[in-house]
Amino acid sequence: MNHLKNNVLYEKDIQTLAMDFLTVAQKAAIASYPWIGKGNKIEADGAGTEAMRNQMNLIDMSGLIVIGEGEMDEAPMLYIGEELGTKNGPQVDIAVDPVEGTTMMSKGQDNALTVIAVSTKGSLLHAPDMYMHKIAVGPKAKGSINIDATLTENMKSVAKALRKDVRELTVMIQDRPRHDHLIKQVLDAGARVKLFADGDVTGAIATAIEEIDVDILVGMGGAPEGVIAATALKCMGGDFQAKLAPQEPEEFDRCIKMGISDPEKALTIDDIVKSEDCFFVATGITDGMLMRGIRKRNDGLILSHSFVAVGGNSKHYQFVEAFH
C-alpha cells in the first residue's frame, strides 16, 4: 500500500482503505444482527464494537479514534484515543458509531446502522462525546446555510439555492421536546417537517441524495454522529455546519483540554473535516431510509446492504449489496 506524502492519502490508499472499512462495517452490522428486538442495547453495542475492533486491527494503517462513544473506562465502546491497525500504512483519523440507533435496534425498529468516517491524520474534529447543534444540506444548497441564523432564515436561503418555494421544503428534525421551536418554525413557514426517533446521520446524508425528499437536517444531537455526517457530506459535495453544545462546565473544560479554544464557535464543514482525502462507510442493521437491514437467508447466507462515499479527486458514492 502507498504511504502518506505530506500527510495526504494517495487515491489508491483511499479506495483500498474504503473497501477495507466496508468489511469492518459489514462485520459489525452482522455481529449486531442477533440482538435486534432483544431489548438489550449494551449487548448489541458490545457485539458490534468487538467485531469492529477485531477487523480494524487487521488493516494496514495507523488508525486513531478521535471522536467516539466514550472514554477508555466505558468499554465496550471504541474509546477516544484508541489506536487501531497493524501500524503499517497510512496514518488516519477515525470516527465511529458501531450501532447508530441502539435504542431503535433493541426495540426492533428501523434505521439502525453501523457508521464509520475516516480521514487523514489530524484532520477530523477532536472533541468529547457531547451534544452538537447541526444543520446539513445537499450539494445544490452548499454555501447557503448559517448555523448562527434562525431556521426560518436558513429555509429561505436554502429554498432560493434549490429554486423552490419555502413551502416545498422538507426539513428533518429529531422528535424531541428540545426541538419544538424548530418544528414550529418549519410549520409556520408552511414547509414540511419529517420527524425521526433516533440517529441523525441518515437524515444528513439523505439531503445529498436526489431520490430522497429531504432538503435540510437540523437539530441538536451527538458530536460523534456530527463528525461522521460531515465526512459523508464532504465526500458527496454537500454542506454541514455545527456548534458544540456543552451542557455543563466539565464538558466545556474537556473541550479546552482537547485543544478546542472556543468550544461554542460556529464550525464549517472544513473545520470539522479539514482534508478532502476522506471517506464514509455504513451498513444497515435494520431497514432504513438509506439501506436495507441484515437479512439471513434460508440457505445460510447473510445478505448485507451498505453505502460508501469517497472523497478526494473522485468524489462519488455507491450502494453495495453483499453475501456473507
CA distances from 127 to 74, 249, 260 (A): 16, 15, 8
Annotated binding residues, as ranges?
45, 69, 97, 100-102, 131, 176-178, 198-200, 222, 225
243/283 same-domain check: no
- Verify that 107 and 147 share a domain, yes or no: no
Q: What is the CA radius of gyration of the chain?
A: 19
Strands 170-174 and 216-222: parallel
Structural domain that includes position 169: 131-272
Binding residues for substrate are 100-102, 131, 176-178, 198-200, 222
CATH number, domain of 148, equals 3.40.190.90
Q: Are residues 55 and 29 in the same domain?
A: yes
Per-residue pLDDT, 225 = 93
Asked if residue 2 belongs to a domain, the reply is no
Whether residues 147 and 252 fall in one domain: yes
DSSP string, 132-158: EEEEEE-GGGTT---TTS-HHHHHHHH
Structural domains in the chain (count): 2
Q: Give the closest residue to 119 by CA, choosing from 89, 90, 93, 80.
A: 93
154 plus 104 within the same structural domain? no
At 57, the amino acid letter reads N
pLDDT tens figures, 158-204? 999 999 999 999 999 999 999 999 999 999 999 999 999 888 999 99
Supply φ then ψ for residue 264, to 5 degrees: -105, 20
Q: In angstroms, rounded to a whole number, what is the distance separating the alpha carbons of residues 195 and 208?
A: 18
pLDDT at 78: 82
Q: Which residues are annotated as a binding site for Mn(2+)?
A: 45, 69, 97, 100, 225
pLDDT digits (tens, 9 = 90+) for 17-75: 999 999 999 999 999 999 999 998 888 889 999 999 999 999 999 999 998 655 544 54
Residue 33 DSSP code? G
Q: What is the pTM of this model?
A: 0.93
CA atoms within 13 A on the CB side of 196: 27
Tell whether the model's pLDDT for residue 299 goes beyond 50: yes
Residues 163 and 287 in one domain: no
Measuring CA to CA, which residue among 101, 137, 145, 112 is closest to residue 230? 137
